[in-house]
Amino acid sequence: MTAPIPTRSASELLAPDTGMGAVTLRVGNLDAMIAYYRDAVTLQLLSHEGPIAVLGRGTTPIVILQHAPELVNPEPRAAGLFHTAILFETQAALAAAVYSVASRHPNTFTGSADHLVSEAFYFNDPEGNGIELYWDRTRTEWSWTHGTIEMATLALDPNAYLQSHLTEAGVADPVIGGAVVGHVHLSVGDVAAARDFYVDSLGFETTAEMGGSALFVSAGGYHHHMAMNTWNSRGAGRRQQALGLGQVDIIVPDADDLGALQERMTHHKIGVRDDGQTLSFDDPWANLIRVRTA
């Protein structure tokens, strides 16, 4: 079944082909984190200049590591990053990456699930930042009911998955095809406030909710480009400067979309910083969001 037709006007929404850009992480041990994302997660080191390392696939940045050894770990129940979700093109590519992480850092595996729309494997990097590695089923296999995407958390056996999809070539060279940030999942203090910001102001559409504890939003009928939950952070206030999430990038098609977004955020009395190429603003928990053109 196809996604529902939007019920809000185009001026209230992000462009349908909006996507996610790189996630910036503030890290304490830059060398160790580069090694994890390069050697285990199978991203390529695209650049490394001083305290900034950019990792991704091809020419696409996925994770930007910013060395900030002066910062401390965030409070356990603070708002911030729940996970960065890296989307792979094929099941073979996903299996190769999962095998690589499991082989090099098996203690960082935290779970796996079939979400109906996708197959996903979860890890924590050496500094506790959540990572999801996943593959999408085709959109024709997704099911929508009254504007809500059908997702679930079904058992997905990692060993059986690797037996089915891991190839000898994938073991020898696990960098298979491209990868992008498919979605970003945040820990927030309140779902209603997240909806006010990310849906009503920023312009995503709600695709699913889990009671009052989680919200899933997207542009263009994707299952979700962002999600926000209160599972570990209910009641959290604005974040203090700490290790962990530094910035989330959102990519819109062109300058007109940036202009429309700036008007929308200004209308909702949200402070926007405009450097001539990007817009940036803080969500209610001081998570920094930057929007740029493709």
Strand 52-57 vs strand 44-49: parallel, antiparallel, or unpaired?
antiparallel
Q: What does pTM read for this prediction? A: 0.97
Token pair for residue 19? Answer: 């996507």
Handedness of CA 135, 137, 143, 147 (dihedral sign): positive
Q: What is the pLDDT along the chain (294 residues), one digit of tens a residue?
A: 566 666 788 889 999 999 999 999 999 999 999 999 999 999 999 999 999 999 999 999 999 999 999 999 999 999 999 999 999 999 999 999 999 999 999 999 999 999 999 999 999 999 999 999 999 999 999 999 999 999 999 999 999 999 999 999 999 999 999 999 999 999 999 999 999 999 999 999 999 999 899 999 999 999 999 999 999 999 999 999 999 999 999 999 999 999 999 999 999 999 999 999 999 999 999 999 999 999
Give CA–CA dist 146/26, Å, rounded: 40
Structure-token match 């480009």, residue found: 225
Give CA–CA dist 188/198, Å, rounded: 12
Q: Which CATH number fits domain 10-293: 3.30.70.60, 3.40.50.720, 3.40.718.10, 3.10.180.10?
A: 3.10.180.10
Give CA–CA dist 29/151, Å, rounded: 36
Strand 214-218 vs strand 226-229: parallel, antiparallel, or unpaired?
antiparallel
What was the pLDDT predicted at 10? 87
Cα of 23 vs its chain's centroid, Å: 7
Structure-token match 């309140």, residue found: 190
CA dihedral 269, 275, 279, 283 (to 10 degrees): -60
3-state secondary structure of 268: coil
Structure-token match 């996925």, residue found: 62
What was the pLDDT predicted at 289? 98
What was the pLDDT predicted at 11? 86
What was the pLDDT predicted at 1? 57
CB 20 within 8 A of CB 183: yes
What was the pLDDT predicted at 4? 64
Structure-token match 């999942």, residue found: 185
Give CA–CA dist 84/56, Å, rounded: 13
Edge-to-edge strands, sheet with 226-229: 109-114, 118-124, 130-136, 80-88, 179-187, 226-229, 214-218, 205-210
What was the pLDDT predicted at 118? 98
In the chain, where are the structural domains located?
Answer: 10-293
Number of Cβ within a 10 Å radius of residue 45: 15
Token pair for residue 46? Answer: 């695209």
What was the pLDDT predicted at 178? 98
